[in-house]
Copies of this chain bind each other. A is one copy, B any other.
Amino acid sequence: MINVLFSGTSERWPDYAPHLRAAFEAEGLDVDLREKFPPEEVDYLIVSPNGPIQDFSAFTRARAVMNLWAGVEEIVDNETLTQPLVRMVEDGLTRGMVEWVTGQVLRHHLDMDRDICRSEAKWDYHVPPLARERKVSILGLGALGRACGETLAALEFDVAGWSRTPKDIPGLHCLSGDTGMEEALRRAEILVLLLPETPQTRHVLNVLTLDLLPRGAVVINPGRGPLIDDDAMLNALDAAQVGHATLDVFVEEPLPEDHPYWSHPRVTVTPHVASATRPGTSAQAIAANIRRNEAGEPMEGLVDRKRGY
């Protein structure tokens, strides 16, 4: 019997419990899944970063902590967490992100807002260029960035991807390092942020880097709020240096009611939905990782504490 503690936010328990039970059974695991356990009896923890557990030291026999989200920045520096930490790597999360990013890139590529928001009876003929003539840059080539880049390249967009260390992905113009970053920014008619949140990526878009973008560039951020220096972004939007920003993530969420992003005419706010953890597919990912770990196989999404993701 494997004891699994679910410690996501409690309102998600009814969504997750049946999916998790079905997934454990499908993997052939004999699991006791509960919302409460004496800490010393827990074999695996399923947690969300905004959940109740902040001190992991009492979970003395826990073999892993499974994060419900792809992002681990709120938990990775917790010094009481000495157990292996696994972030969510699941197909549904990747697919959701690919759909959201592809949709938003096409929206801006086709200038859809012009038709969606038109208030007068005006035959306003405007033919967009073809995707092959549209330069998109993606910062971050992890599982999500890579999947988005490959999908956009399949649609014939002219896609460059930047990563910290050099990568080679068919169909993408792969860039890395400081000079690669400058090239990625200078060419970006549409810029997509899919970097993890680390001390190095904080404010990757700032006064200097926003100025490298072609005038009127579109910024799409489904990554992490702190990737953007919000004051610098607001100035760039006011000056039309950034033509539009579609932002899904923010330093403070929900975005405060008085934040200037809400009313800025060049900003679209979406409520952190680009890639939602979905109970069905994420339960399968967690169950598969527990089965792997019990069989002595490596888990998918095991966090490297030094890198921070």
6 A-B pairs besides A103-B110, A151-B155, A154-B154 with CB distance below 8 A are A92-B130, A98-B155, A99-B128, A102-B155, A107-B116, A123-B271
Residues in A112-143 with C-beta less than 8 Å from chain B: 112-113, 115-118, 120-121, 123-128, 130-132
Task: Tell yes or no: A276 within 8 A of B by CB.
Answer: yes
- On whether the beta carbons of A115 and B156 are closer than 8 Å, the reply is no
* Alpha-carbon separation in the docked complex, A99 to B110 (Å): 8
Task: Tell yes or no: A100 within 8 A of B by CB.
Answer: yes
- On whether the beta carbons of A109 and B99 are closer than 8 Å, the reply is yes
Task: Tell yes or no: A75 within 8 A of B by CB.
Answer: no
Binds B, one of A180-188, A255-263, A292-300: A255-263
Secondary structure dominating the interface of A: loop
- On whether the beta carbons of B107 and A107 are closer than 8 Å, the reply is yes
Task: Tell yes or no: A308 within 8 A of B by CB.
Answer: no
- One of B92, B125, B130, B276 near A99 (C-beta < 8 A): B130
Across the A-B interface, give the 7 residue pairs with the lowest CB-CB distance, nearest first: A103-B106, A123-B254, A121-B262, A127-B276, A121-B257, A115-B270, A125-B271
Residues in A210-226 with C-beta less than 8 Å from chain B: none
